Structure 1
Amino acid sequence: MLEKVHLLLILSISGALANTPIVPDINEIRDSIKPYLPEGISLPEMNSTQIEEGLQKLTDALKQKCLEASGSDTAYDDASAAASTFSECIQNLLDFSNIEEEIEKAKPTGDLDIVFGKYCIKKIPSLDCLETFANATSPCLNAEEKAFKNVFIKMAKRILDFVCHNNGNQIALFIAESGPECFRSKANNLVTCFNKTFDKYNLMSFETPPTFKISQENCGDIKKFENCVVSELEKCRESTSANLAEAMFRYVKKETVCKNF
């Protein structure tokens, strides 16, 4: 099931980066995602036309961004090719069709660390995929974003270091102590945390080219979001989810201008 969701998302993103957007079947998306939604949460009503229009707006915004940053018509095409290569690179490293099944089989025997260890040894190749993609898209970035690009790569490395510490022992503990169930039960509240913190940035608007950076002015909002997320997760029966989320926020922020917040 996760493989299907993953592939549908890749199709959507690839469509936004292609000259002819690929529009996935909306009913198939709903059927794939619905089992993972907490009770009481429903997907917004959208039809294929709305999805196609959204993807076209995103495509136009990204093309405009690349043109403004590089002055070249080829920058967007190069970024598109890099996005496809990155997607293939990650899929070749991570077997999304088997990860969920492997985790479920390992739970009863307590061998989750073996599963995560198997994938964590691919951490460096995964980062190589990301860095290659980031370098290929540099012409589409403005000066501030180019400066942030290296920070973004370091953040990704910190996330993988955190997840893969001691062969993924922390994530194994998270799963063993009902972490995924905690997140699912609080999903609605976590979405509210995000919306009330970041709505002012109009992140879902595709009318103007998006900006990819974290500045000093964003740090207060990131801290606000962190506090809200941790507060919601603390309401779960086990404290592991809240502790892990707080630790990850703090660990990753050390690579940003928000490290003192």
Structure 2
Amino acid sequence: MLFKVFLVAFMAVGVLGEFKLNDDARQKIKDTIKNTCTENGAADKIDQVEESIKNFVDCFKGLFNFETLKNEIEAAKPNGALDEVFKKYCAKSPQLKTCIHTLTEGVTPCLPANIRDNLGAGKNVSDQLIDFVCYKDGDRIALFIAEGGPECFQEKSGSLRECATKAREGITGVESVKALSVDEQCAKFDALSSCIVKALEECSTPTPGNMAESLLRYIRKGTPCKSN
């Protein structure tokens, strides 16, 4: 249910070249949006959806400047003031939730009926993830960075890519994802989670692995997998 929602969020970034995609890659993303809308009987909504995606990126960029955030984090590390940095940014979480909700509503016309029927749950999951990260004004993310979390992820990037590759085995596109039963989707999620945690546990400190495990468990509780 959430695959398409997150896909559109990433496409939003791609459409504006936020990750410096080349013209060919950017065009493929636009084509995906066009095809998705057309397949779901909403060809007349393509412009509306692209505008919603652009507005989402503008909204997000209005709240966060990654270069500024990076500089603030580096300046705060020596003084042990990371908690103050994330307290400031977590105070923006209500606006971020609104950005995401507006995006979700904007892309709704191009989503399949079964996904549209479950968008309420999708909003709850995104809200819960933000609340997890900003628990106690961002204490978790501050600890993650202070304990070398980003460095751990970079060190284990190869292993994490292998985890993702294994999770995609048998998946050739959106239709193959839809064909998976809930049990099969949950099994893939659990296998991916275990692989990620195992890789991060090999870092010099346990915090990144422990935090990833907590986050993945939190995500799982917001899915149909919780009853399995």
Structure 1-normalised TM-score? 0.75
The CA deviation at 1:160 is 0.8
Task: Give aligned pairs, total.
Answer: 218
Change (3 A) 1:91 1:23: closer
Change (3 A) 1:213 1:131: farther
Q: Report whether the alignment pairs 1:98 with 2:68.
A: yes
Contact 1:190-1:232 at 8 Å conserved across structures: yes
2:225 maps to which residue?
258
1:110-145 per-position Cα deviation (integer Å, ceiling 9, x unaligned): 111100000001101111011111101111011121
Unpaired runs of 5+ residues, structure 1, are: 1-8, 16-21, 30-47
2:144 maps to which residue?
174
Amino acid at match of 1:119: Y
Instruction: Give 1:110-259 correspondences, 5 Å limit.
Output: 110-202=80-172, 216=182, 217-259=184-226
1:15-72 per-position Cα deviation (integer Å, ceiling 9, x unaligned): 5xxxxxx798xxxx5xxxxxxxxxxxxxxxxxx9xx4444333322321221232x34
Q: Distance in 2 between matches of 1:123 and 1:236?
A: 30
The CA deviation at 1:10 is 8.3
Contact 1:10-1:87 at 8 Å conserved across structures: no
Q: Distance in 2 between matches of 1:111 and 1:246?
A: 25
Change (3 A) 1:112 1:228: same
Amino acid at match of 2:149: G
Amino acid at match of 1:114: E
Q: Distance in 2 between matches of 1:122 and 1:222?
A: 30
The CA deviation at 1:259 is 1.9
Contact 2:86-2:138 at 8 Å conserved across structures: yes
2:15 maps to which residue?
14
1:76 maps to which residue?
46
Change (3 A) 1:144 1:90: same
Change (3 A) 1:66 1:75: same
1:5 maps to which residue?
none
Q: Distance in 2 between matches of 1:192 and 1:200?
A: 15
Change (3 A) 1:176 1:213: farther
Q: Distance in 2 between matches of 1:152 and 1:215?
A: 18
Secondary structure of the 1:108 match is helix
Structure 2-normalised TM-score? 0.85
Unpaired runs of 5+ residues, structure 2, are: 1-9
Amino acid at match of 1:87: V
The structure whose residues are more often helix, as a share, is 2
The CA deviation at 1:95 is 2.6
